[in-house]
């Protein structure tokens, strides 16, 4: 067999642009990336877009943008900005490699390893019905022993054909030394003669993969467990072309809490949606890395550099990994709280801007507010409800405050509170000053418990229940507190 003759580690992530980038795909890309970087190799992005009906430029743009957002920089493939090729082994889009596949299909035809098959869909369906009882249906083509010349004459006469790979005469069993699963045995009679090229000339997945992985000099293929059944056909094609196969590693599936394959049904699994919801790319990478791999020191909070340093395929677990959304959110909170306040403020801006919030632009105020709110944030989107009470135009006396405003002590409490705020000498009061004023209102009015706290809360946030006032009040300007107190008083 022809060897790859490559000492350099070369791995690839090869998405189909038929939808969004799923967290399972992102994890496959990450493991390939980590393996390449750990071994001083190359990480390649190849686009498998031969599904003409479902592949779109919009999906390709989305997948590339998500990979770029995650920070998984590839060394060859399609450019993240222009989507044009860069690297020595292009084209990197399979739809632009059709002549290459045709060339190798013709080689297999010439060598008698493949043949033109003229069976119609109706004839194949009839065979399937007749063989239903057998359970394991294989196409029995009467054309497998036709000479190439005879088949070409038949095509010339206007008949359409697929190109099938001929499995007759190949070795009985195939042994795969899987880098994750150990020895996997494939009996060759698992598959019948399978299609390489459809009648329109479009190649099928397994054929494209083999040709591209060989010509692009891939040394290792890490992919999801669900691709394991494809491996036998691919090993046969490698044998038919006389090529050495790369090393394969099939990583575990990602499962939901009910141990079913992860799906949209139970929440966001698209990287783009996770980004919109306010998950950090560093947290996404950290969490998905640990779905099927573990750090040798069992560390949980990891940077990409720490992952690269510790990554070893011997620690890849073949068992299904549970996607725990609660733990994922916790991990995001750990990464979020580790951000410098200046970075975190920039990160929450799109969420605040979407709600048209008007907040102080003073960096000192921003820093102070984040020091107070950080412990309550798990995802960036949490900033919206935390900051909403600080936006003057969002302040309103809500219906749930009606009962509190009718209480007998409320007017006196609000009047005392308003007078103290107006007399405060500075633009902002400290937490200590707020607690002192609260005690003074209590002493002046005799109100205590909910008769004290709830009216003040209505005067600050418009409702009797909510965030702790000692956190909010120091972030509100004196003029805002006065205006809110007067609005509440007007309702008593």
User: Alpha-carbon distance 467 to 488, whole Å?
Assistant: 18
Residues 372, 471 contacting (CB under 8 angstroms): yes
> Between β-strands 162-165 and 114-117, what pairing exists: parallel, antiparallel or unpaired?
antiparallel
Distance CA 188, CA 22 (A): 33
Q: How far is CA 299 from CA 44, 92, 294, in A?
A: 28, 37, 8
Q: Are strands 321-322 and 254-255 parallel, antiparallel or unpaired?
A: parallel
Q: Give the up-direction half-sphere exposure of residue 492: CA atoms within 13 A in the CB hemisphere.
A: 20
444 catalytic residue (yes or no): no
What span, in angstroms and rounded, lies between the C-alpha atoms of 449 and 434? 16
Question: What six digits make up the tokens of 454?
Answer: 């709830």
CA-to-CA distance for 184 and 467, rounded, in angstroms?
Answer: 57
Residues near 298 by beta carbon (within 8 Å), at least 6 away in sequence:
none
**What's the CA gap between 352 and 356, in Å, rounded?**
6
Residue 16 neighbours by CB under 8 Å, 6+ apart: 47, 48, 49, 51, 54, 55
Is the distance from CB of 85 to CB of 79 less than 8 angstroms? yes
Distance, CA of 208 to CA of 57 (rounded, Å): 20
Options 73, 84, 150, 264, the catalytic residue: 264
* The residue count for the chain: 492
Q: In whole angstroms, what is the distance from residue 452 CA to residue 412 CA?
A: 10
Tell me if residue 256 falls in helix, strand or coil: coil
Structural contact between residues 289 and 29, judged by C-beta atoms closer than 8 angstroms: no
Cis peptide bond upstream of 325, omega within 30: no
| Burial class (CB within 10 angstroms; exposed 0-12, middle 13-18, buried 19+) of 490 | exposed
- Among residues 311, 307, 373, which one has the least CA distance to residue 344? 373
Q: Which helix (H) or strand (E) holds 43?
A: strand 42-45
Residues 6+ apart with CB under 8 A from 329: 378, 379
Q: Catalytic residues, which ones?
A: 264
């Amino acid at each position: 067999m022809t060897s790859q003759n490559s000492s350099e580690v070369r791995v690839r992530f090869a998405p189909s642009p038929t939808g969004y980038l799923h967290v399972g795909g992102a994890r496959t890309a990450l493991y390939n990336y980590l393996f390449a970087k750990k071994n001083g190799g190359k990480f390649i992005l190849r686009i498998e877009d031969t599904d003409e009906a479902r592949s779109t430029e919009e999906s390709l743009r989305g997948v590339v943008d998500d990979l770029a957002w995650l920070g998984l920089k590839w060394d060859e493939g399609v450019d993240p900005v222009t989507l044009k090729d860069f690297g020595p082994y292009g084209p990197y889009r399979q739809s632009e490699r059709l002549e290459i596949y045709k060339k190798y299909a013709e080689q297999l035809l010439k060598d008698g390893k493949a043949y033109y098959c003229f069976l119609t869909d109706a004839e194949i369906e009839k065979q399937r019905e007749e063989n239903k009882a057998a359970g394991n249906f294989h196409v029995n083509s009467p054309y497998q022993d036709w000479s190439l010349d005879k088949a070409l004459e038949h095509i010339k006469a206007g008949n359409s054909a697929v190109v099938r790979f001929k499995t007759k005469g190949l070795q009985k069993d195939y042994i795969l030394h899987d880098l994750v699963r150990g020895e996997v045995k494939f009996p060759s009679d698992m598959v019948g003669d399978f299609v390489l090229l459809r009648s329109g000339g479009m190649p099928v997945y397994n054929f494209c993969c083999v040709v591209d992985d060989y010509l692009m000099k891939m040394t290792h293929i890490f992919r999801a467990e669900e691709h394991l059944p494809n491996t036998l056909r691919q090993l046969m094609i490698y044998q038919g072309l006389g090529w050495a196969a790369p090393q394969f590693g099939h990583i575990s599936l990602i499962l939901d809490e009910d141990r079913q394959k992860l799906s949209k049904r139970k929440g966001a699994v698209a990287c783009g949606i996770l980004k919109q919801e306010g998950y950090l790319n560093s947290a996404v990478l950290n969490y998905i890395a640990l779905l099927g791999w573990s750090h040798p020191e069992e560390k949980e909070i990891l940077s990409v550099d720490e992952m690269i340093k510790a990554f070893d395929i011997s620690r890849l677990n073949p068992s299904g990994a549970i996607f725990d959304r609660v733990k994922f959110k916790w991990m995001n909170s750990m990464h979020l709280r580790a951000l410098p306040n200046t970075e975190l403020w920039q990160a929450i801006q799109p969420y605040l801007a979407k709600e048209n919030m008007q907040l102080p632009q003073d960096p000192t105020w921003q820093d102070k507010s984040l020091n107070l709110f950080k412990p309550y944030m798990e995802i960036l989107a949490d900033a919206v409800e935390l900051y909403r009470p600080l936006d003057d135009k969002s302040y309103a006396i809500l219906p749930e405050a009606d009962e509190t405003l009718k209480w007998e002590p409320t007017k006196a409490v609000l009047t005392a509170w308003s007078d103290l705020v107006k007399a405060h000498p500075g633009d902002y009061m400290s937490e200590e000053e707020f607690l002192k004023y609260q005690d003074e209102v209590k002493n002046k009015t005799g109100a205590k418990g909910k008769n004290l706290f709830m009216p003040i809360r209505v005067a600050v946030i418009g409702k009797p229940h909510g965030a702790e006032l000692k956190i909010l009040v120091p972030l509100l300007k004196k003029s805002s507190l006065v205006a809110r107190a007067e609005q509440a008083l007007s309702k008593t």
